[in-house]
Amino acid sequence: MAVPVAASCVCVRLDKMFVLVFLCVCLIAKLCVSSEMVVTGAEKTCDALYRDGVQAYLEERWQDCIDNLEHALSSYRLLKQTTVNCRLTCHAAADETSPMGPKSVDDLQFFEKMIRKTLCLLKCNKHNPKDGLHGLPKSVLKEFEDLKPYEYLQLCYYQKNLLQKAASAVFTYLVNNPDNKVMQENLKFYSELPEVDMSEVVNFEARNYVSLYIHGAEAYQHEDYKSVISYIEESLEDYLRAEDECRAYCEGPFDQGWFPDFVSSIANHFTYCLKCKRRCPDKLNSLNGEKHQDLLASHYHFLQYAYYKVGNLRKACEAVASYLMFYPADETMMNNKEYYFKLPKVEKDFFTPREEAVEYVQRQEYELRLLDFIENEFSFKDGSENAIDINETENKSSLTKVKDSIIMGTVSKSKLFPPPIIKFEWPKYEINIKPNEEEYIIKHKGNVIKENLEHSSSARTEDEKRAEDKIKSQKKRAVEQLQRTAARNIKAVMGERELHGKHRFVAEGFANDSECSKLMNLAQVAAVQGDGYSGNKSPHTDFEKFEGVTLGRVALLVYLGLIEVDVLDLYLNLSEIGRDYLERYFNLKTELYFTYTHLVCRTALNDSPDNRSDMSHAIHADNCNLLENGECPKSPPAYTWRDFSAILYLNEDFEGGEFIFATDLTAKNVQSLVKPRCGRLVGFSAGSENPHGVRSVQRGRRCALGLWFTLNPFYEEIEHILAKQVLLQVQQEGSITDQLLHELEKHVYVGSSISHHKPTSTAIKEQLNLQDNYVKKSQIPD
């Protein structure tokens, strides 16, 4: 039977309507399910997720532990970012709004801006659940800030065999808490597992600028300068953004603990926020666990060189000027500025620092002056359980720094200095965990992975062996110290009372006339003018010539056969005796490490005037920056890792050149004076308690062996270690020249004119000049 056309159309419409209704029902159902899921997720707050994750950890429900803690961290990041974004947005909005009044009367414009920011924040934070980030319990908030969830997560990952993630969780925690011994042991444990690739271990909380900076440094090493510019510029932008966010996060609530009046409450809260903001650079200056105090400034170091390589001289000069905003007296960058300025296309106005660098440095200087005033004049309750004094923060030692040793010759100021090669390495922890142990126990509440010593007699044997080896090493070192000093009549002649200051002394008997003469002769033939000061022959005063020779240079000359091996032996031996005496005199419980050794001579120029009042070396402290007001902040560019110093004098046949302790930069208040003589040593701690300097050398040549020490083995002088190895090798096998002559003698008849005599001082000077040229060429890229 035929169906009418109209009827068929109606059927088609009904079918289409049915399909449409069915799709709508499905869509509504899906939306309801999604909405229900969102509501369910929203019901679980950040702290609730964290508590559930910890409870699952304690009950050994490892997957629930992972799910809850990962969601808790994600929720915390979202809350924190939302809070920070609100503050930054409201700051910008208030700054862009024109004030109601034409001028600020009774600071009304300031308060108007605060009111506008407050209104903006109220509207913005209205979308945050339960008062946003600061709705969390204080104890939970602190645990998130300390990255405590990763302590639990690493073990939960481990139990689920997610070993790569477990290692990354441990590393993430260590970046923020580098001194945690338990987590150091855990990282060592994971590094020994074959399933873990340490090159793939990441910091889950790292900002983008970290990887960008590392990529930029790697591109620099491969001489891909366009990529250097791209990576470093983006890294710089993200670093500054990260610091702005860190500073905005500091503007949180503050429990004053009392009820101050209007003005005091503002000042108190402001001080709390300002101290927090000054800690931001310390939090950000970490690259894979390595602390870099000059991380921000080093961006401009890379940029100046990369822009020069691609031919953009204006940008290069701007980067130079920007770097000098941070370190105005940096010799390397000053040399670079001079190099650029001599180029034909460079104009003076090219050296204009970039706007962000100017704003950053001006803000930093103002804040530091303000904090200094507050610290000296006021005492505010911090109100934060984990607050850190600003001075304490700035003095904290780094987890690790890049350790590059470059032996520098005399470098002309007309050369361009590139930024240093950055080597990114995993932090080296001293861990008492042996690889390939079969059994480990897990202490749930302590979160420890370690050896099960209760049923491992072999482990106890190894522990005993390590303890015995340590005792043997200590005894061996004590015997060596006694051997070095047995034949010497060393005695202290001045102490703290005579020198009118703490932690200082003068002792005699460290070297005899013959030994002093031998080192003086070494300086005569091997010292380099301006050594350590980029070739500046008179770095401290225009009326004296400065010369120096490092331990590494002496080792090189001995290895080449240019000087006798016993000269290096003497150099090392006298420095070791000085170190041994300082350890005993100051009753140190830990070993002192050499951090720098330098034989230096200062010679009065023939045309220098009589009765000079200038200083051969201005009053300074060895590990902090001595200021005119007497303060001495322990921060770069000072050698903050130095702990003790000593100077061993080699002669007295000159006029002037007395060593002095003083209390001020102008040396008007001299506490005590030490007259140099052969074998006399002055030793002191390297901090602000011992400002010192050298009076001008009026006539003749003054030589001394400078010794600087650290308690931190990381900063141990590489040249000192190498020099010992060279000494041992040459004593056993002869110098490279001796070895070559020995080989030649096998092929030459007896009547040959080959001579074994050491070269003359003129020949040594010629060899040194060739070596300096080689060093310079090897260090300056094409």
Q: Which residues are catalytic?
A: 702
Residue type, 332: T
Phi, psi of 385 (to 5 degrees): -65, -30
Q: Are 441 and 455 in contact (CB under 8 A)?
A: no
Helix (H) / strand (E) containing 321: helix 313-326
Helix (H, G, I), strand (E, B) or coil at 685: strand
Taking the C-alpha atoms of residue 669 and residue 78, their distance in angstroms, rounded to an integer, is: 58
Cβ atoms of 692 and 674 closer than 8 Å: no
Nearest to 711 by CA among 308, 397, 390: 397
Helix axes 355-377 and 225-249, enclosed angle (nearest 10): 30
Chain-centre distance of CA 424, in angstroms?
12
| Nearest CA-CA partner of 676 in 661, 654, 696 | 654
* Largest Cα–Cα separation, the chain: 134
SS3 letters for 328-342? CCCHHHHHHHHHHHC
Distance CA 546, CA 702 (A): 10
Both tokens of residue 300?
Answer: 């401009």
Q: Which of 76, 84, 114 is nearest to 251 (CA)?
A: 84
> How many Å apart are CA 38 and CA 34, to the nearest integer?
6
Helix (H, G, I), strand (E, B) or coil at 754: coil
Contact 313, 341 (CB under 8 A): no
Q: Which of 74, 84, 90 is nearest to 144 (CA)?
A: 74
Does residue 650 contact residue 519 with C-beta atoms inside 8 Å? yes
Judge whether 174 and 181 are in contact, CB under 8 Å.
Answer: no
Number of other CB atoms surrounding residue 219 within 10 Å? 20
Contacts of residue 179, Cβ cutoff 8 Å, sequence gap at least 6? none
Token reading at 543:
């009326």
d(CA 707, CA 684): 11
Name the phi and psi angles at 368, rounded to 5.
Answer: -65, -40
Give 402-457 as a DSSP string: -----------TTSPPPPPPP------------TT-S-EEEETTTTEEEE-GGG-H
Positive or negative torsion for Cα 616, 323, 286, 392: positive
Strand partners, 504: 684
Nearest Cα neighbor of 340 from 412, 229, 415 is 415
Q: Are 545 and 605 in contact (CB under 8 A)?
A: yes
> What is the Cα–Cα distance from 308 to 291, expressed in whole angstroms?
28
Q: How far apart are CA 485 and CA 576, in angstroms?
A: 10
DSSP at 128: S
- Phi first, then psi, for residue 707 (nearest 5°) are -130, 130
* DSSP-based three-state secondary structure for 721: helix
CA quadruple 551, 554, 558, 560: dihedral sign: positive
- For residue 747, the 8-state DSSP code is T
H or E stretch at 492:
strand 491-494
